[in-house]
Amino acid sequence: METRFDSVLLVAFGGPTPGCCQSVDPCPGSEALCFVQGIVGGRPGSEARVATVTAHYERLGGFSPFNEFTLQQARSVENLLKQQGLYVPVHLGMRHWPPYVKDVLRQMADQGLQNILVLIMAPHQCFASWEWYQQTVEEGVTALGARGPRVTYLDPWYTHPGYIAAIADYLRQAFQELGPERAAQAALIYTAHSIPEAMAANAPYTRQFEATAAAATQLLGHPGYRLAYQSQVTGTPRPWLQPDINDAIRQAKDAGYRDVIVSPIGFLCDNVEVLYDLDVEARQTAAICGLTLVRVKTVCNHPAFLAMLSDLLAERLRKG
């Protein structure tokens, strides 16, 4: 089937993988340190933050599974599009680690691709999760001059039935770990990445996060839920969204809960923020509180989630 779009580009955050990057010169020798410095390094008082976040990566082996999971998502989406008769190449570009967005756009231009449909791999919108990605894409396009392609962005999908079905399915699996009686009485906590309150005030981020949580909970038929945030930047004068997941766990204990089920719906695949902030820190907090914590899977390669992405892309590709 012919389409006026000639390609798809998935744009994502990125994470450190073996083989030192080029974002810090000279490279410090550790991919994790190189990655974190490339994001927050150079800001006043950033040294402590760089050291803390780098330590999280080093504790988990120094690398992140994020890139590989996101590449799997891109390959799956491309194959699902082919099954619908849409033979469109699907590329992947990262904002903070190779393959960088600017390099991927240059490669696409070298292949003669000039009309790109862009999918931002973030479920909820704020500057850090949406406009910043768009700026990164626009910078890459501008750098190509006359060869710069035309780009169109896929609309957000934070309450799409496919996304909600994937969340709910993994929640049901988590409920099975506790058993039906305990699961019905557990505190259900959804998490997303915390952002500065000032950024949230100018974005639909919190409203979209709550809409996702409400839709998933309704599909499950669970009696209620709580919202919490993770991965806050500490030691800054700017307040960030609260409550922190660890505070939410303590609040659940004070409310008399025995079990907590934590679903990181603000993340589309496991990365170090999920693996450390929830599987290490939050689990330790729950243990201190005498609570059982069950961490729900991210949607990652769930068939309903991947089918949703491919269907949305296919619909837009056909419209041209």
Domains of the chain: 161-295 (3.40.50.1400)
Q: Which residues of the chain are under the pLDDT cut of 50? A: 1
**Four-CA torsion 190, 192, 197, 199, nearest 10 degrees:** -140
pLDDT at residue number 37 = 86
Q: Which positions ≥6 away from 185 have C-beta within 8 Å?
A: 257, 258, 259
Q: Any idea what DSSP says for residue 244?
A: B
Specify the length of the chain in residues: 320
pLDDT at residue number 29 = 66
pLDDT at residue number 67 = 97
pLDDT at residue number 30 = 86
Q: How many CB atoms lie within 10 A of CB 305?
A: 26
Asked if 218 and 181 touch (Cβ cutoff 8 Å), the reply is: no
pLDDT at residue number 234 = 75
pLDDT at residue number 20 = 59
pLDDT at residue number 120 = 98
